[in-house]
A = this chain, B = another copy of it.
Amino acid sequence: MNLPPLIQSFVLHFGEMGSRWGINRTVGQIYALLYVSPEPLNAEQIVEALGISRSNVSMSLRELQAWNLVLLKHLPDDRRDFFTTPDDVWQILRTLAEERKKREVDPTLSVLREILMQQPASEAERHAQARMSEMHGLIEQLTTWYEDVKQLDTDRLATLLTLGAKVTRLLEAKDKIVSLGRSKRSTEKG
């Protein structure tokens, strides 16, 4: 590996993390390298920078393309493929969220739905279905929220994040007023 020390730390870290993210070391390293490169890189440059085989680079880039995490660019009068990551980190976040949902959530959701359609044949199955139904409900609530906020443009999304706690405080205030109203009325009744 032949990289400036500061970049190498970053690349190596992404490699190590790779396994925890469900991708492998090489894929993680290539992504990190592309992310910090000022210019798009071609396969040969990646081979030199990371010291890995040409075929490994080819397959890893394939993987990154399947995740929609890299952009393919072409330079005039050059047949080679050059790769970058999107400039906008928020766009990267969106892609990541979408792809992980597709791979890690949607399949479970559809399996749950399928199982919940069936008639339980025993008390054990009935209880299991009830549990699965709870899980299904939670996941649906989360994905509904996600589908909702992912529509937001970046500014509004950022605002929503920054707001986070404040929305909460607003809700608490509302609750307080409502419950005050309720307890007053219930006092009057009781």
- Chain A interfacial positions (CB closer than 8 Å to B): 4-7, 9-10, 13, 17, 19-22, 35-36, 38, 89-90, 93, 103-104, 107-108, 111-112, 114-115, 118, 120-122, 124-125, 127-129, 131-132, 134-135, 137-138, 141-142, 144-145, 148-149, 151-152, 156, 158-165, 167-168, 171-172, 175
Contact = CB atoms under 8 A, between A and B. Distances in A.
Closest 3 CB pairs of A and B: A36-B128, A148-B164, A148-B165
Contacts of A135: 35, 89
A161 B141 contact: yes
Instruction: Work out how many copies of this chain go into the complex.
Output: 2
Given A5-B121, A148-B168, A167-B167, 7 more contacts: A4-B122, A6-B128, A20-B104, A22-B22, A36-B132, A90-B138, A160-B168
